[in-house]
Structure 1
Amino acid sequence: MSKPVIAVVGPGRMGRGMAHAFAYTGHQVRLIDVKPRPAEAAQQALVQARGEVVRSLDVMAGLGAITPAQAAAMAARIVTLAGDAADAALAEADIVFEAVPEVMALKQAAFARVSAAARPDVPVSSTTSTFNVDALAAFVTRPERFLNTHWLNPAFLIPLVEVSPGAATDPAVTAGMLQLLRSAGKVPVECKAAPGFIVPRIQALAMNEAARIVSEGVATAEAVDTATRVAFGTRFAILGLLEFIDYGGGDILYYASNYLKDSLGEERFAPPEVIVDNMQQGRTGARAGAGFYDWASRDLTDYQRELFAKLFDLLGHLKLLPTPS
C-alpha cells in the first residue's frame, strides 16, 4: 500500500524539518512556496530549503544512522515547487501541512491557496505555535478537516508533535492524523486548543525563571545551563513532570512552593489549586498510592528498578556516571 503524498506549504525552517521527517519514513513530499515574490527569489528559497534538508540527511549518514544511499533516496522523495506548479502539487496531495511564518495575513493567504487548489476531502493542518486553531479554521473550506499539529524544532529529530483539534474538527480526521504521525516515527499527544499548548507553556515559565536567576546574580548563565542539562535534562528524559511529582511526593512540592513564595515574595511560586486539593485529599503520590496517577496496584520496587536502569543507561551514554573505585 502506497503512503500518502504530503504537501508542506512553507519552505522555512519548520517546513524543511517536516519534509525531511516524512521523506525519511518513505513519503513523497511536495515542499511548496506560496509567498508572493519574484520567481527568481522563490526559486532561491527552494534551493536553500532543499540544500538544508540534504545537509541534514548527510549529517545523519555521517553519524551512521542511515547509509549515503538511503540519504540520497530520501532527498529524491522531496520535490520543491513554487508558482503555478504549486497548485498542481496541492491538487495531488493527500495531506497538507501549513508552515508559513506566524503572521495572520500570511496564514490566511496560504489557506486560501490550499482551499482553492487541494481536494476538498484532504486533511489540512497548521503548525502554528501562536494562533488559536478555531481562528485559523475560519480560513479553510470545510473546517471539519482542519486541525493543528505543533511540531518542535528540529522537526526531523524531536519526536513530539502536539495535536490540537478545533471545535469543528471531525474526530476521524484527528484519529487519522495521529496514525500518520506515529507511522512517521513521531510521538503525538492530543491537547485542547489553548495558548501555549503543552511544551511552549511549560518551557516559557522555565526559560523566564532561568533568565531571572542570572539577572538576580544567583548564578551565571553557564551554571544555570549546566544545572538544567545535568539535572532537568537527565531526569525528565526518563520521568514526566507529573510522574516526577508523584514519585517525589506532592507534599514536598506543596511545602517547597509555599516556602519559595514566602521567601521570594513572588506569588508565581504558589502551588496551584490541584496540588492543594491533592494535599488535602491525601493524594500525594506513589507512597500514598494515588496522586496524578494511580499507584495502588504498582510494585514500587520494580518501578524504581526500571527507572534506575533507564537513568543509568542515559547517564552512561552521556558520560556522567562517576568512575567506581
Structure 2
Amino acid sequence: MSNRVNIACLGAGRMGRGIAVAFAYAGHAVTMVDVKARSAAEFAKLEADALGEVRTTFASLAKLGLLTEADVDPLVARVSVIAAGQSEEALSDAGMVFEGVPEVVELKREVLGAASKQVGPDTVIASTTSTILVDDLSGAIVNPRRFLNVHWLNPAYLIPLVEISPGRATDPIVVDEVKALLEGIGKVPVVCAATPGFIVPRIQALAMNEAARMVEEGVASAEEIDKAIRYGFGFRYAVLGLLEFIDWGGGDILYYASRYLEGALGSERYRAPDVISRNMHEGRIGLRTGAGFLDYSGLDVDVYRAKRLQAMVDLLRHFGLARPPVLDRN
C-alpha cells in the first residue's frame, strides 16, 4: 500500500466524516460513499450536511492553530460524497476502505460484502465497529485475508490512538500495512486480539461505571470525582501506562490493595487477576526486581525515572500548576 492511497468510507455519518478529516488533513483524497438509496433531494441534503461538517471541523482546527483559514478550502476539496449507486468507480480506485454504518451485524455484512466485490483484489477493508468482532463479519467479505477491524476513538480526527483487531483470516502483512498507513497520518495504532471491547472501551467501561457508582453511593460529587480523574488518574496515565504504573509502584502493592478493597467494599470486582499473584511469586513485581509486566533488564532505571518525572513536570506546566518554591530569604 502506497503512502498516499485514496480512501473510501462506507457511510457518511459521524465516523466517516471524522475519518475523512483525518486523512484529508494528511494529504489523502477521501470519498464518503452513501450506502442508503435516497431521492436526489435527500442525497443533496446528506452531501451538504457531510461536507458542511467537514468544513466546520477544519475551520475549528484553524481556530485552534493546527492550520490556517487559507488551508480550509484546499483540505475540504479533497473530500467528496457520492450516492450509493455510483460507488463502483470510487471503490475500485481506493487503496483502503473503512466501513462506518450503524452497529447492526446484518447491515454491516451486507454493506461490506457488496463493497468487497467492487474493490480491487488487494484493497484493504476495515470495519470501524466498536462492538462487533471481526470474525462475525469476515464471512461476508470476498477474500477475507485483507479484512480487519480498525476502531477509532472519537473525535477520530483528534484522538491519536486507533485500535487494530485482526481476525483469524487476516494476513499479518495487511496488519503491518494498516499500521504504516495510520502512522503516516500521525496516528498511534495498537494491535489487539479479537475480543469484546478491544482495549480502551473495555477499560473505560469499568472506570466510567465505577465513577457513576461513587456518585450513586454518595462518595463524592460528580465535580469532585471528575477533578480527581483529571489531576490524578488521567495525569499519571498520560505519562505512565496502566501496566507500567503497576511496575512503577510494584505489583505487590496492587495485590494487597485489591485484597483490602474486595473485603472492605464486599465486591469481587476488585479482586486482582491471577497474573498479579503469579508475578509476585515469580519475583516479577516491577522496577524493584527488573521485571514485571515489562522487562527492565539492561535499563538505566535512574535515567528512565528521570524522563518519566520530567514528562510529569511538563504536564504540570501545561495545567498551570508548576510553581516555584517558597523560600525564606530573610
Partner Cα distance (1:199, 1:2) in 2:
27
Contact 1:133 1:166 in 2 (8 A): yes
Contact 1:43 1:82 in 2 (8 A): no
Q: Which residue of 2 aligns with 1:165?
A: 166
User: After the TM superposition, which of the residue ranges 16-25 and 60-69 deviates more from structure 2?
Assistant: 60-69
1:288 matched to 2:284: no
Partner Cα distance (1:294, 1:243) in 2:
10
Partner Cα distance (1:42, 1:312) in 2:
51
Q: Which residue of 2 aligns with 1:29?
A: 30
Partner Cα distance (2:316, 2:17) in 1:
32
Q: What is the letter of the counterpart of residue 122 of structure 1?
A: T
Contact 2:3 2:181 in 1 (8 A): no
Check 1:235–1:264 CA distance in 2 against 1; reply closer, same or farther (3 A cut). same
Q: Which residue of 2 aligns with 1:238?
A: 239
Partner Cα distance (2:258, 2:47) in 1:
50
Contact 1:90 1:118 in 2 (8 A): yes
User: After the TM superposition, which of the residue ranges 54-63 and 240-249 deviates more from structure 2?
Assistant: 54-63
**Structure 1 residue 69: Cα displacement:** 2.3
Superposed counterparts of 1:33-112, under 5 Å: 33-112=34-113
Partner Cα distance (2:12, 2:325) in 1:
50
**Structure 1 residue 299: Cα displacement:** 2.0
Where structure 1 has 5 or more consecutive residues not aligned to the other structure, the ranges are: none
Partner Cα distance (1:276, 1:160) in 2:
30
Partner Cα distance (2:212, 2:31) in 1:
40
**Structure 1 residue 70: Cα displacement:** 2.1
Partner Cα distance (1:288, 1:275) in 2:
14
Q: Which residue of 2 aligns with 1:201?
A: 202
Contact 2:3 2:184 in 1 (8 A): no
Partner Cα distance (1:311, 1:18) in 2:
31
**Structure 1 residue 156: Cα displacement:** 0.3
Which whole-Å deviations, capped at 9, do the CAs of 1:124-174 have from their partners, x for residues lacking one? 110011111011111111111111101100000011111111111112211
Where structure 2 has 5 or more consecutive residues not aligned to the other structure, the ranges are: none
Query: Per the alignment, in what secondary structure is the counterpart of residue 137 of structure 2?
Result: helix
Partner Cα distance (2:64, 2:122) in 1:
40
Partner Cα distance (2:314, 2:9) in 1:
37
1:297 matched to 2:295: no
**Structure 1 residue 54: Cα displacement:** 1.0
Q: Which residue of 1 aligns with 2:263?
A: 262
Partner Cα distance (1:314, 1:170) in 2:
40
User: After the TM superposition, which of the residue ranges 258-267 and 168-177 deviates more from structure 2?
Assistant: 168-177
1:149 matched to 2:169: no
Q: Percent identity of the aligned residues?
A: 52
Q: Which residue of 1 aligns with 2:115?
A: 114
Query: Per the alignment, in what secondary structure is the counterpart of residue 238 of structure 2?
Result: helix
Partner Cα distance (2:281, 2:3) in 1:
55
User: After the TM superposition, which of the residue ranges 25-34 and 38-47 deviates more from structure 2?
Assistant: 38-47
Partner Cα distance (2:119, 2:112) in 1:
10
Superposed counterparts of 1:301-316, under 5 Å: 301-316=302-317
Which whole-Å deviations, capped at 9, do the CAs of 1:251-276 have from their partners, x for residues lacking one? 11001000000001101101100001
Partner Cα distance (2:127, 2:162) in 1:
12
**Structure 1 residue 87: Cα displacement:** 2.5
Query: Per the alignment, in what secondary structure is the counterpart of residue 219 of structure 2?
Result: coil
Superposed counterparts of 1:214-253, under 5 Å: 214-253=215-254
Query: Per the alignment, in what secondary structure is the counterpart of residue 117 of structure 1?
Result: coil
Query: Per the alignment, in what secondary structure is the counterpart of residue 147 of structure 1?
Result: strand
Check 1:149–1:2 CA distance in 2 against 1; reply closer, same or farther (3 A cut). closer
Query: Per the alignment, in what secondary structure is the counterpart of residue 164 of structure 2?
Result: strand
**Structure 1 residue 2: Cα displacement:** 7.0
Check 1:289–1:101 CA distance in 2 against 1; reply closer, same or farther (3 A cut). same
Contact 1:39 1:83 in 2 (8 A): no
Query: Per the alignment, in what secondary structure is the counterpart of residue 67 of structure 2?
Result: coil
**Structure 1 residue 73: Cα displacement:** 1.4
State the aligned residue count.
325
**Structure 1 residue 121: Cα displacement:** 2.3
Q: TM-score, normalised by structure 2?
A: 0.95
Q: Which residue of 2 aligns with 1:129?
A: 130
Q: Which residue of 2 aligns with 1:139?
A: 140
